[in-house]
Structure 1
Amino acid sequence: MKLTIALNSKVLLAPRTGIGNYVAELAQALQRHPELEMQYFYGAGWRPALAAAAMPGYARWAGAAKRLLPAAYRMRRLLEQRCFDRGARRICPHVYHEPTLWPLDFAGPTVMTVHDLTHIHYPQTQPQDRLKEIERRLPAAVARASRILVDSAYIGAELRQQFGLPPEKVVLAPLACSDIFQPRDERELLPRLQAMGLAYRRFILSVGTLEPRKNLLLTLKAHAGLPPSLRARFPLLVVGMAGWQADELKGALAQAVSAGHVRFAGYLDQADLACVTAAARIMVFPSLYEGFGLPLLEAMASGTPVIASDCASLPEVAAAAATYVHPQDDIALTEQMRRLMEDDVLWAERRGAGLLRSQEFSWTRCATITAEVYRQAANS
C-alpha cells in the first residue's frame, strides 16, 4: 500500500541551518521511495513539491513578528493548526512527521524527530516564551507520538531517560551531509576564496549559530593564544547567523575582528559554506551540547581535520577521526590547533581518518530507516 506522508517543512522557508538541512536532504532521499507519497506543509499551506530555497525576507519578518506580537508563538501555532487541518482533511495523510519539538495536533499516527534536548540542559539559551511553549507541549507530544526518530544514540538515551519511553519507541536514524561537501583542490576554489580574501588551507574555520551553546568565546580565546606568527598565517574565519543571546558574542567577536586575524562572514549559503569548509586548514567545533554536530561531518567529508569538544554526541559522530578537547580548556584547544597547523604529517593522518569516517553516513540510510518507521507508525 502506498503511504501518504505529511512532512512539516515550514523550516525550509527560513535560511538553512541544521534542521532545515535535515528536512531538505531527508525529503529528497525519501523521494526515491516509490511507496511513499510526500506532501509538504509550509505553515500557511500545502504543496506536493519541496521548497527549493528560503522565502526572501523570512527571517526578518519572523523576528519582527516575535518582537511585536504578544504571545507570538501561540498565535502563530493557532493559525498554523487551522491551515494544517484544512489541508489534512483534503489530503488524508496516513502519517504526519514533525521534524521539530512543535508537533501539531493530528488524529492519525505521528512521527517526531527529536534532534536534542537543549531546552532542558541550557534553558538560558532559549527565549522565555519559546521555552514555556516547549515545556508545556513536549511531554504530551512525546507520549502521543507513535515513533520518535533521533540523530544519535546519545540523544536517544537522554530521551528515554527523561520521559520514561520504551526502547522500541525511539529509533536511531543518523544524519548525513549534502554531497556538496567533498574534497576540492585549490584551483577549483581559488576564485571564491579570492573574493572572500582567503587563502587555500591558510585559515581556521568556526561554524555555528552565534549563541552561547556553540562556545565561540572559547574558540576566540584559543585562537588569540596562538603565537602571533601563527595567528597571522592562519586567521580564524567565523561563519554563522545571530541566534539567541548573541549580544555578548557579537561584542567579543567585534573586538577580535578589530584586533586582526579574525574574520566574520556571517551566514553563508550551502555553496559558499562548502567552499570554505573544503578550503580550511582545520574546523574548530568546541560546542557545549549537540544532538549530532553536522558541521563536524561536513568538514570530515570535505577532507578538513576537526577539533571538537569531548562531550554529548560529538565523540559518537566523529569517533576516532577527530581531535578532542574539554569544552572549557582554551589552552588545550590552542595547543591542538597549533599542532595541526605545524605538523603536516599529523594533519594528513587526521584528514584521511575524517574522510573514512564520513563515508559511514548517508541520507539513503537515514531515509530507509525513516521510511520503515513510517510503515511501523501506519500499522500501529
Structure 2
Amino acid sequence: MHLTIALNSKILRAPRTGIGNYVVELAQELQQNPGLRMQYFSGFDWHGKLATGAMPGYSRCAGAAKRFLPSAYALRRIVEQQCFNLGIRRIRPDVYHEPSLWPLEFDGPTVMTIHDLTHLHYPQTQPADRLQEIERRLPSALTRSSRILVVSEFIGQEVRRHFGLSDKKVVVAPSGCSDVFHPREEHQLSASLQKLGLHYRGFILSVGTLEPRKNLLLTLKAHARLSPAARARFPLLVVGMAGWRTDELTGVLSQAVNSGYVRLAGYLDQQDLAAVTAAARVMVFPSLYEGFGLPVLEAMASGTPVITSSGSSMEEVAAGAGTYVDPQDEVGLTEKIRQLLEDDGVWTASRTAGLERSHEFSWAKSAAITADVYRQASES
C-alpha cells in the first residue's frame, strides 16, 4: 500500500533547533520508505524534496512582524492555510503530519507530534501571543488528530493524563540522533576549536536556546562557584540562539563573559555543534523541563559525559549513563561538575555508559514507528 504524506516543514524557515532537527532527520528516513510518497509544505508552497536550509533573515523578519503587527500569528495562520489548501487539492495526501502543536485544517486523517507541554508547566516562560495561540488551538487539534506521536514515554504519560487520551491514540516514537554526532580525536577538531579559542576536553559545554526553561542561570552560577584555577582551565562555552524573556539572563551572562571564564558562541550549525560537543570535557544540561532533551543524546553519542536534570524525560533518555542533579540545586551542580573535571575514572565510566546508551536510539527506529502510525491513521 502506497501512501502520500503531507508533512508541514515550515519550521525549517528558521535556523534549526529541536523541532527543526526532528523534521529533517525524520523526513530523511521516511524518504527511504518505498511505501511512502513524501510532500513538504514550507508555509508558502509545496515541494517533493525537503529544503533544509533556513530562509535568509527569517528570524529578523519574524521578530519585526510580531512587534509591528498586533495579530501577527493570526494573520500568518490565514495566509498559511490558504497556501496549504491550494497544494492539498493538487497533491491529495492520504495523511497530514503536523510536527507542532497547531495543525492546519485538513479534511483527512491528521497525525501530530507533541514534543512537550511547556505551556502547561511553565507558561511564564512563553511569549503571551504564542501561549494564547496554543491554548486556543491545541484542544481542537487533539480531537481532530487520528494519532498523536510523542518523543518519550515521559511526555506520553503527561499527554494521556492531562487530556484524557487513550493509549491507542498516543504512540511513543523516541527521537534519534544524527550521524554527525560521534566521538572524534583531537586532531579532527583543532580547526573548529581554534576559532573559539578552546582546547580539546578543556571546556564545559552548555547547549540550548537562551530562554528561562533551559535554566542557564543555574549553570552560570554553578560554574562561578568553581575555583578561579578550575574556571580558567575549563571555561564554560554557551551555545544557543537568543530566545525570549531573557532580561534577567542577559545581565548575568554579560558579567560572566566579561569575567573571561565564559564564552558565548551563539547559534552554531550542526557541523560546528557536533564538533564542540565531541570536544567538551562535560556537557551541562539542567533544563527545567523537556519532552526529550536531544542535546543529552547528542552528547552521549559524541562520547561526552552529561550532567542533566533528575525526574524528567532526560532521565529516561540517559538512563544509567547520566549524572543527575536537582535543577534548582546550585551547590549540587557545582559538585557534579567538579567530580567529572577531577576524577578521570568517573569521567571514563560515564563516557563509556553514554556511548552504549546512545546506540539504543536511532532515527530509523523512529521513522519505522511513524510510518506504521501513518498506516493506522489512513485506515481509521
Residue 366 of structure 1 is matched in structure 2 by: 366
Give yes or no for the alignment of 1:294 onto 2:279.
no
CA contact (8 A) 1:110 1:144 kept: yes
Residue 330 of structure 1 is matched in structure 2 by: 330
TM-score (norm 2): 0.99
Give yes or no for the alignment of 1:346 onto 2:343.
no
Give yes or no for the alignment of 1:30 onto 2:18.
no
Over the matched positions of the two proteins, sequence identity in percent amounts to: 70
CA contact (8 A) 1:286 1:309 kept: yes
Q: Within 5 Å, which residues of 2 pair with 1:1-380?
A: 1-380=1-380
Whole-angstrom CA distance in 2 between matches of 1:24 and 1:31: 11
SS in 2 for 1:55: coil
The number of equivalent residue pairs is 380
Whole-angstrom CA distance in 2 between matches of 1:31 and 1:13: 20
Per the TM alignment, residue 247 of structure 1 is displaced from its structure 2 partner at its CA by 2.1
Whole-angstrom CA distance in 2 between matches of 1:311 and 1:136: 29
Whole-angstrom CA distance in 2 between matches of 1:29 and 1:250: 39
The amino acid across from 1:250 in the alignment is T
Give unpaired runs (5+ residues) of structure 2.
none
SS in 2 for 1:168: coil
Per the TM alignment, residue 52 of structure 1 is displaced from its structure 2 partner at its CA by 2.8
Per the TM alignment, residue 323 of structure 1 is displaced from its structure 2 partner at its CA by 0.3
CA contact (8 A) 1:9 1:42 kept: yes
Whole-angstrom CA distance in 1 between matches of 2:222 and 2:148: 38
Aligned structure 1 segments of 4 or more residues deviating by more than 3 angstroms:
none
SS in 2 for 1:44: coil
TM-score (norm 1): 0.99
Whole-angstrom CA distance in 1 between matches of 2:307 and 2:239: 16
SS in 2 for 1:291: coil
Whole-angstrom CA distance in 1 between matches of 2:314 and 2:271: 24
Residue deviations 1:207-260 (CA, integer Å, cap 9, x gap): 000011000000000000011111110000000011110122121100101112
Q: Which moved more, 1:22-31 or 1:120-129?
A: 120-129
- RMSD over aligned CA atoms reads 0.6
Residue deviations 1:165-191 (CA, integer Å, cap 9, x gap): 011000000001110000000001011
SS in 2 for 1:25: helix
CA contact (8 A) 1:115 1:291 kept: yes
SS in 2 for 1:229: helix
Give unpaired runs (5+ residues) of structure 1.
none
Per the TM alignment, residue 34 of structure 1 is displaced from its structure 2 partner at its CA by 0.6
